[in-house]
Amino acid sequence: MTHNKALTIFALLVFTTLTIYSQDSYDMQDQRHSDTLDTKNKMSTWQMMKYDGLSVYGGVKHVYTSPLRWKGKDWLTFGGVIAGNAILLAVDEPADDVFKKQGDGVPDLIKEAGFRFGKPLLNYGLTTSVYTLGLITKNEKIRRTGVLLIASATAGGLLQTLGKTAVGRARPLEGEGNLSFRFWSNEAGYHSFPSGHAILAFTTAHAFAKQFDNLFVKGGIYALGLVTPVSRLWDGAHWLTDVTLGLVMSVFIVDSVDNYLKKDKRYAFGSKKHKIRWNLRVGVGQIGVVGRF
């Protein structure tokens, strides 16, 4: 019953998000013109799918090759993240106790919903739904968002899978402490670092939030995205450092894919629209409104 309720809640959240987002996108259209520039008229559905597939591939590749393009400031940021996470190791075990005590008072429905949202099946269901909506409506903004979601989830999913297996960190539930490792372990109990649920959930949240300017909407999306990472701490499935690194990775991955799509100008919705400035002009024997383009 709890499982069904959790899925129902997230189905409603997905529907609400898609409705708001599609409405936001169509509000940007001008007298029924879509956000698409030339692709709507020149590309068939199959051609758009091939084009978007290449965009996903390019985005994932851009994420993995990013360190090759880093400058001094980027390496300092990277070092700061590593140093910060290393410092947090000191509070891993106390934080685990605190979060598990908090988790005792959290409704199972919320924890279950958080757990499900970080699962690949539900997460990819959401991302592909967004892309499919953009494909069917031939709306370039929604298509681009779908590409951003899919590329980010793919890049993050592969990284966390490799990282978990290679590091082999023991989960809190194993009772071995936060510095117990079995490198290249296939056991689920030693797949704690980094948190895959945190990466998938917050990658999706960050990618969605970047599409809105309204701070309240952004805040709501980020709040939903944090339910999954925190729920993993409540359940004792991850250490605090597993989750914090997962969140940082999510932001880096989404921003990297987004920068690739912008830099290569893969999508260019709404870039040629000019605003009209209206001015009231009053003169001898005349009054009127003048629009300047």
**pLDDT at 40 > cutoff 80:** no
What mean pLDDT do residues 76-99 have?
96
- The pLDDT score that the predictor gives to residue 264 is 79
Q: Which of 272, 119, 142, 94 is nearest to 197 (CA)?
A: 119
- Work out the mean pLDDT of the chain and round it to a whole number: 84
Kind plus residue range of the DSSP H or E element containing 44 = none
d(CA 266, CA 50): 13
What mean pLDDT do residues 147-166 have?
96
- The pLDDT score that the predictor gives to residue 35 is 43
pLDDT digit string (tens) for 200-217? Answer: 999 999 999 999 999 999
Provide the 3-class DSSP secondary structure of residue 33.
strand
- The pLDDT score that the predictor gives to residue 33 is 41
29 pLDDT band, cuts 50/70/90, is very low
Q: Which amino acid is at 122?
A: L
Task: Give the residue with greater pLDDT, 142 vs 34.
Answer: 142
Spatial contact of 208 and 221, defined as CB atoms under 8 Å apart: yes
d(CA 54, CA 36): 18
67 pLDDT band, cuts 50/70/90, is very high
Length, in residues, of the chain: 293
Write down the residue that tokens 């990282």 correspond to: 163
287 pLDDT band, cuts 50/70/90, is very low
- The pLDDT score that the predictor gives to residue 26 is 43
**pLDDT at 28 > cutoff 90:** no
Percentage of the chain lying above the pLDDT 70 cut: 77
- The pLDDT score that the predictor gives to residue 65 is 97
d(CA 193, CA 197): 11
Write down the residue that tokens 């851009």 correspond to: 62
d(CA 65, CA 158): 14
